[in-house]
Amino acid sequence: MPIECDEPDAYTVQCVGRTTLRISRDTIKHFFQPLLADEEMVQRLVGKTYDFPFVSRFHFNLSGRVFKLEPRAELASGLFDLVVDPFSTVRMLGASKLTDDGCLHAYSAQDAPSAASKPVEVL
């Protein structure tokens, strides 16, 4: 839906949606890598459904090109619904590469834990 924009020569479209995915070991490996050190937590998560709302704003110039994108996701509330426990939610958030705007970034091969790395603290 188009919404008002601060810039006179631009249009903003806001998209509201919901993302749903099933957690696998690969999901944990790519998005919550430090949790792999806690097999009990991994077993609790694998097979569960992770569901969270998002809002994305696309800012278009007069030629129809996107010049700015503002993604926002409510990942924390979805994680709380997934694990139902605030301490586990905090552990998952701490194990993720969550940005200030609510985007979840994947771990790369360079981020692989070394033998000297510490596992995520169990609370």
**120 or 23, higher pLDDT:** 23
Q: In this predicted model, what pLDDT tens digit does every residue of 78-121 receive, in sequence order?
A: 899 889 889 999 999 999 988 877 778 889 877 665 534 444 44
Q: What is the pLDDT of residue 9?
A: 86
SS3 category, 61 = strand
Cβ-contact 41, 91 below 8 angstroms: yes
Whole-number pLDDT of residue 115: 38
Residue 30 three-state SS: helix
Q: What is the pLDDT of residues 40-81, one digit of tens each?
A: 999 999 999 999 999 999 999 999 999 999 988 888 888 998
Q: What is the pLDDT of residue 1?
A: 53
Cβ distance 8 to 1 under 8 Å?
Answer: no
pLDDT at 122: 47
Whether pLDDT at 25 is above 90: yes
Q: Tell me what the mean pLDDT of segment 10-38 comes to.
A: 94
